[in-house]
A and B are shown apart, each in its own frame.
Chain A
Amino acid sequence: MTTTDTHRATDAVWRIESPRLIAGLTRIVRDVGVAEDLAQDALVAALEQWPKSGVPDNPGAWLMATAKHRAIDRLRRSQLLERKHEELGRELEVKEMTVPDLEGALDDNVGDDLLRLMFISCHPVLSTEARVALTLRLLGGLTTDEIARAFLVPEPTIAQRIVRAKRTLTDKHVPFEVPRRPDLAVRLSSVLEVVYLIFNEGYSATAGDDWMRPALCEDALRIGRILAELAPREAEVHGLVALMEIQASRSKARVGPSGEPILLFDQNRAHWDQLLIRRGLAALERAESLGGTHGPYTLQAAIAACHGRALTPEETDWLRIVQLYGQLAELMPSPVVELNRAVAVAMASGPAAGLALVDALTEEPSLKAYHLLPSVRGDLLRKIGRLDEARSEFERAASLTRNARERELLLNRARTCAGGS
């Protein structure tokens, strides 16, 4: 093996083993940074020994045992042992006095540790950027270099971000725990937000020789799938996974040969990945079968599923989409959701009905600079034959977009309207 080969093999083992290892160690040493160092030490030991002795039957258990030994050594060496013991003792005493939760204190379940790791990586004391970097590092098992390349920032920036995040968690004494209700809902939505953010970072990068970015979508999906196994009773987790699977199913179809974006209606549906659509529909079914009111991710997944099921744009179940956008608007009222609903209404009941809804949005301050509002309005006006108005809406949309290709497209539309009047 060359050095590069060894290096890549190390990365692979790290990717597979590190999340569980760090999670288990964090429970013992109560510090993510120390846990990560210990996990790395154990991995180095493995890479020295495994080539000679062969890979053990259970590599994860071997690594954990090695890391635990080192944890004890380290605690002794730095004379932290006593202090930590005191701390742990105090913590346990306090716990036992206030909440007699022996089961929780003695819990040795790897899955629960991973879930705890997920919650502290996405803890609200951290900035969004820090949450993203830490989640990719600890749960995704990415190297700092891989994260840096994915976000197009220098490696030291990411390394520092991660160091600072770990320090913040230590300084603020963020407990290594799965939050209880009623906090759980808010904390879980923070986790889901981070995962979806990672996904979108990969998904919205359509152009360039940025081959790392589709990988970012895959990383987000993978973390989402792990989360779905860890928290199988949380409907929104399955909702998010469903949404990501279905959106990812279109990735081959949404970029043209020269890197230009292709809109949903113009996509070649033969390029949609049927495996991902099926997986998405299955995840959606799981989310819906858990009952309760559907959360925003489940609703968005249900909308995406309506498109995913339609072999042609004409087969789309617009009435259902209108209904789903209605529910989404109730849950999180937003002019952008309303604009989407208007488009669906136009498809279901004709352009005039859609236009009425869009007209109601023209005074909305938050949409003043949003190019899709005049673009949608122009489209509907054109369909009902008000071509002069349509043209000026397309021109306005063109002046608002920052994307050159989109501007060209909109100006083209404006020109076609001029010809007809």
Chain B
Amino acid sequence: MRVMVIVKANKDSEAGVMPNEKILTAMGKFNEQLVKAGVMLAGDGLHPSSKGKRVRFSGGKQTVIDGPFAETKELIAGYWLWQVRSMEEAVEWLKRSPFDGGAEVEIRPVFEAEDFGAEFTPELREQEERLRKQIAEKK
């Protein structure tokens, strides 16, 4: 299974303060462990929300909102995509990470094909077909 590991933003990350060398080194080591264990599929840090944008959809209207966004704790500062065998394994890996100082990191399982099951209706399938045709016509 795959999980997304979501690192929440804090005052520093939102202010664009880069982590100090000690943290960077520790994080580098942790990432190396993940790669060596074949667990890490992808991962990136994100710029503060001041560089981000949001699009709000309402009643057929689309509004673009510029960052920064206020609710710091709900924002994300980075993510990983891991391949693990269970949520428990993901938790064990996360425990080995060098976070501290009240940081909160969230783990969420990624939907796999089998999770869709009966929800993958004929309508959805038809939509897929259309998408496929579009790709074919694009060339």
Contact = CB atoms under 8 A, between A and B. Distances in A.
Please determine whether chains A and B interact with each other in the same assembly: yes
A9 B92 contact: yes
B114 A226 contact: no
Contacts of B91: 9, 12
Nearest to B81: A275
B24 interface: no
Interface in B1-36: 1, 35-36
Contact of B113 (A8, A11, A221, A251): A251
Contacts of B46: none
B65 to A, nearest CB: 29
A281 to B, nearest CB: 14
A412 interface: no
A372 B31 CA distance: 45
A interface majority secondary structure: helix
Contacts of B81: 275
A275 B41 contact: yes
A270 B139 contact: no
Contacts of B36: 111, 226, 229
Interface in A93-149: 111, 142, 146
Contact of A312 (B96, B113, B128, B139): B139
A214 B2 CA distance: 12
A15 B135 contact: no
A255 B117 CA distance: 12
B92 A311 contact: no
Interface residues of A, number: 38
Contact of B132 (A12, A269, A279): A269
B86 A257 contact: no
A37 B121 CA distance: 50
Contacts of A409: none
B88 interface: yes
A222 B131 contact: no
A252 B113 contact: yes
Contacts, number: 81
Contact of A257 (B39, B88, B95, B120): B120
A417 interface: no
Contacts of B88: 8-9, 11-12
Contact of A16 (B92, B129, B135, B136): B92
B79 interface: no
B139 A311 contact: yes
Contact of B114 (A9, A13, A211): A211
Contacts of B1: 215, 218
A396 to B, nearest CB: 32
A309 interface: no
B88 to A, nearest CB: 4
Interface of B: 1, 35-39, 41-42, 81, 83, 85-86, 88-89, 91-93, 95-96, 112-114, 120, 125, 128-129, 131-132, 135-136, 138-139
17 contacts: A9-B91, A11-B86, A12-B89, A16-B37, A16-B96, A55-B95, A218-B85, A221-B38, A222-B38, A222-B83, A223-B38, A224-B38, A257-B125, A270-B135, A311-B139, A312-B136, A312-B139
Given A59-B96, A222-B39, A229-B35, 15 more contacts: A11-B86, A16-B93, A16-B96, A146-B85, A215-B1, A218-B83, A221-B83, A222-B37, A225-B35, A225-B38, A229-B38, A255-B113, A268-B128, A270-B128, A314-B136
